[in-house]
Each structure stands twice: as structure tokens, then as C-alpha cells.
Amino acid sequence: MDASDELIELEERGWIALSSGGRTAAEFYKTVLDAEVVMLLPGGTRLTDRTLTIEAMSGAPWSDFRLEVPQVLWPTAETGVITYGVTAHRDGQPEYSALVSTLYVRREDGWKVSFHQQTPRS
């Protein structure tokens, strides 16, 4: 598996964890978030505290999701930016659609999320 496939798989695993409910997502993000992280989420949410970001990941689970045309850009050999569209749904809520970007940095213990942004599509 090449590095681009690794990042796409990590991103899919994140959405799977977010769809599992309970503490599964928080446990996944404990392993994949970098020491310093910034997450820009819909509604003006900006998360910069690693512990609070992990806690936020254990919210209401997605019931289904679909990643659309994931692509990876390599600014350096040690940093990869994955971009894609996502369509997701939570039970009892309207469909969610966004453009997503996640910056991964290669560390000694593997790829870590340093930056993540979701921009809702109209």
C-alpha cells in the first residue's frame, strides 16, 4: 500500500469510528491526533485543545457516510493533505454534505492529524 492509500484508509477509519458510537471514536482519535491540532468544523467551531478535541469525537454517531473522490497532495514527503467530499447522515437529522481537508504529518509512531477542516456544501 502506498502512502496516499494509507492516508485515505486512515481517513475512512476515522469516519467508521465516528459511526460506531460510544467511545470508539475517542479511542481512535487518541491514537491519530498530533500533539498540537486544529479542527475547524461547521457552525464556527474551532478546536485546538487535543483533549477537548478527543472528547468532542465521542458525540452522536453517523448512521452512514460516503467519501467522494479522495485525493492526496504531498507538500513534503512527511506531510500529506487529503481532500474529498463527504455525504453523511445521523438518524433523525438532515443529510450532511461538506468538502473536507485533513493534514497528516508523519511522526515516529505513524501518521498524525495536525489540521482538519469541514466546509458545508450548500
Q: Minimal CA–CA distance to 83: which of 71, 93, 98?
A: 71
pLDDT for position 37? 97
Instruction: Return the number of other C-beta atoms located less than 10 Å from residue 86's C-beta.
Output: 19
Contact 104, 84 (CB under 8 A): no
0.75 surpassed by pTM: yes
pLDDT for position 21? 77
- Opening angle at CA 64, ends 93 and 100, nearest 5: 90
- Three-class SS state of 109: coil
Instruction: Return the number of other C-beta atoms located less than 10 Å from residue 108's C-beta.
Output: 5
pLDDT for position 92? 92
Chunked in runs of 10, what are the mean pLDDT values of the chain (122 residues)? 94 95 88 97 94 88 96 97 97 95 97 97 85
Give me the residues paired with residue 120 across strands.
98
pLDDT for position 122? 76
